[in-house]
Each structure stands twice: as structure tokens, then as C-alpha cells.
């Protein structure tokens, strides 16, 4: 398992793939984790991005119509994307009313 601390995260929805990247204003660092799992059908790459943000900064992400995402993560060494049109990242939100924990997960071959 590998873990990378990222500086920023931006997203596109699969419904608006040709639109502009939108930055998530996080309250701290953004964590990216990846793990490769060997299964009977072959190798599966499991990726997770965790972002903590104030609830008022995630209103757009809470819309039911936004379920599938493509993320662009930036580190000190450059940037990379998580998700694609064929294998998007799925969003799960946990909130305590003040801050939200956004967990984007993706599995691909």
C-alpha cells in the first residue's frame, strides 16, 4: 500500500467532463492511498482519496446528481488524475455538521 499527501484536489463530474476543474477547499492535507490486489480475475487497483473540508465548502458535492468523479491531485512533484470516464471515482460523504470527510474510491483493472 502506498500513501501520498497531496496539496490540492480538483474535480470534474462525469456529467460535465468537458467543464472546468473545480477545487475543493480542504481544511488540511489531502490523502491518496493505493493498493494492488491480486484476485482470480487478475490484478485490481484500489484507490482512495480522503479530503476534509468545512461543510459550507462542499454544498455542490452534496447534490444527488453528482455521483461519479474524476480527480486531479497536486503534490510538490507534479499532478496526477484519479478516475476516468470508464472507471470514475465514487463519493461518500460523512458530516458532523461543521466539517465533512469526503472519501472518493475507485477500483480498476
Q: Model pTM?
A: 0.89
Length, in residues, of the chain: 109
**3 state SS of 64:** coil
Answer whether 58's CB lies under 8 Å from 100's CB.
yes
pLDDT digits (tens, 9 = 90+) for 78-95: 999 999 988 999 999 999
pLDDT digits (tens, 9 = 90+) for 3-13: 999 999 999 98
Q: How far apart are CA 30 and CA 84, in angstroms?
A: 19
The pLDDT assigned to 1 comes to: 77
Alpha-carbon Rg for the chain in angstroms: 14
Return the domain boundaries, the chain: 2-108
Amino acid at each position: 500500500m502506498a500513501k501520498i499527501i497531496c496539496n490540492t484536489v480538483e474535480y470534474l463530474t462525469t456529467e460535465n467532463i468537458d467543464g472546468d476543474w473545480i477545487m475543493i477547499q480542504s481544511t488540511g492535507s489531502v490523502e491518496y492511498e493505493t493498493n494492488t490486489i491480486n484476485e482470480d480475475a487478475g490484478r485490481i487497483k484500489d484507490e482512495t482519496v480522503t479530503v476534509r473540508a468545512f461543510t459550507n465548502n462542499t454544498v455542490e458535492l452534496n447534490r444527488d446528481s453528482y455521483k461519479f468523479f474524476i480527480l486531479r491531485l497536486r503534490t510538490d512533484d507534479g499532478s496526477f488524475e484519479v478516475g476516468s470516464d470508464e472507471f470514475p471515482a465514487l463519493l461518500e460523504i460523512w458530516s458532523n455538521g461543521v466539517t465533512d470527510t469526503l472519501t472518493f474510491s475507485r477500483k480498476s483493472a
